[in-house]
Amino acid sequence: MENQSKKNQQATTVHIPVLLQNVITVLAIKPTDTVVDGTLGGGGHATHILEKLGPDGTYLGIDADDTALTRVRKLLGRDKRMHFALGNFRTMDTLIQEGGFTEVNKILLDLGLSSDQLEIRSGRGFSFMVDEPLKMTFAHAPDKSTLTAWHVVNEWSEESLADIIFGFGEEKKSRRIARAIVEARQIESIDTSTELATIVEQAVPRKGGAHPATRTFQAIRIAVNDELGALEEVLGKSLKILAPGGRIAIISFHSLEDRIVKRTFIEWEKEGLGLRITKRPIVPSRKESIENRRSRSAKLRCFMKAE
Ligand SMILES: C[S@@+](CC[C@H](N)C(=O)[O-])C[C@H]1O[C@@H](n2cnc3c(N)ncnc32)[C@H](O)[C@@H]1O
């Protein structure tokens, strides 16, 4: 009975795809396209893009989280156009090569975490709402050499903690939070998401709005997974991956990520490598922001490689 309910839980997703119609429009999907989705997540964008692909289209869904791949495999059932790869999108070139795909027409990246990881048990402590070991790594099989949130929280200097909480979390009270973490770990190690959330909440009590640990959790996750480095690396490879006239669309939720995407696309355009399809980022409508709170900070940009 318990196994059955675990299976059912895996075969559903609570994630609502963000800027769905806009993604479809800017990517201008053609029936025969080969689409590489570097962030398969709950398969929301995948499902709708597959509807635009014809029988000769191809979809490669990549995710660093094996539970996401398992879930989408079950959700979509058998579809010969659909392929899966477990890995980090920073190695997209290798994953494409290993899959035997030769021409890629469209790339999609929808950065960050899915609601499945934040709202359902991930076993990795991504969310302060669920009591889990402090890992926060996307890596599917972390070993002793894998950087985890536990190492960051229990071993990094107070200054480094304050720097990432400020830099990646845009948290004004970063110094106070870093101090509280260091004081707490001097008594005993901080092992779970709930312990960390409580320490942050005690240091900067809630004043309505988001949970006070939201930004700290985001910052630690970005540091653990080198998310900005991964974005820069895949951007550096994407024009080589794309066929002439191919397009890359990126949805970001963090100002530092959006800045990287914006600057890269402007630079590429100046170098004559193609055209920005979006001169300004596309953001969710008021309706979408209300219906899906997670979409509020989303920014979509798209670039087309020269023909
Ligand atoms: C926002 S969700 C994508 C949601 C998806 N577009 C949908 O509509 O269901 C982001 C997904 O990307 C994955 N992810 C984040 N960074 C990654 C990376 N560097 N490499 C591979 N997967 C990554 C996460 O595990 C998560 O499943």
Which of 34-38, 116-120, 128-132, 164-168 shows the lowest mean pLDDT across its residues?
A: 116-120
Percent of the chain with pLDDT over 90: 79
Domain ranges for the chain: 2-116+227-305, 139-224
Architecture of domain 2-116+227-305: 3-Layer(aba) Sandwich (3.40)
Which pLDDT band holds residue 77 (cuts at 50, 70, 90)? confident
139-224: what CATH class?
Answer: mainly alpha
Report the C-alpha gap between 270 and 292 in whole angstroms. Answer: 36
Tokens at residue 155, please? Answer: 């071993």
95-149 tens-digit pLDDT: 999 999 989 999 999 999 888 877 777 788 888 888 999 999 987 677 788 899 9
pLDDT at 54: 97
pLDDT above 50 (res 4): no
Give residues (CB < 6 A) around ligand 1. 15, 17, 38-39, 41-45, 62-65, 68, 88-90, 110, 112-114, 138, 230
262-304 tens-digit pLDDT: 999 999 999 999 999 999 999 999 999 999 988 999 999 999 9
pLDDT above 60 (res 22): yes
pLDDT at 139: 73
């969310």: which residue's tokens?
A: 127
**Fold matches, 2-116+227-305 and 139-224:** no
Cβ atoms within 10 A of the Cβ of 272, count? Answer: 8
pLDDT at 204: 92
For the CA of 114, the nearest atom of ligand 1: 2
Distance of CA 104 from the midpoint of ligand 1 (Å) = 19
The residues, ordered by sequence, that sit 6+ positions from 201 with a Cβ below 8 Å of its Cβ are: 211, 212, 213
pLDDT at 44: 95
pLDDT at 30: 97
Q: Which of 50, 114, 254 to mutate to test the pocket of ligand 1 (most atoms within 8 A of CB)?
A: 114
For the CA of 87, the nearest atom of ligand 1: 21
202-235 tens-digit pLDDT: 999 887 778 899 999 999 999 999 999 999 999 9
The 3 state secondary structure assigned to the chain is CHHHHHHHHHCCCCCCCCCHHHHHHHHCCCCCCEEEECCCCCCHHHHHHHHHCCCCCEEEEEECCHHHHHHHHHHHCCCCCEEEEECCHHHHHHHHHHHCCCCEEEEEEECCCCHHHHHCCCCCCCCCCCCCECCCCCCCCCCCCCCCHHHHHHHCCHHHHHHHHHHCCCCCCHHHHHHHHHHHHHHCCCCEHHHHHHHHHHHCCCCCCCCCCHHHHHHHHHHHCCHHHHHHHHHHHHHHHEEEEEEEEEEECCHHHHHHHHHHHHHHHHCCCEEECCCCCECCCHHHHHHCHHHCCCEEEEEEECC
pLDDT above 60 (res 5): no
For the CA of 47, the nearest atom of ligand 1: 8
pLDDT at 6: 43
Which pLDDT band holds residue 11 (cuts at 50, 70, 90)? low
Report the C-alpha gap between 29 and 138 in whole angstroms. Answer: 29
pLDDT above 70 (res 3): no
Which pLDDT band holds residue 24 (cuts at 50, 70, 90)? very high
pLDDT at 145: 84
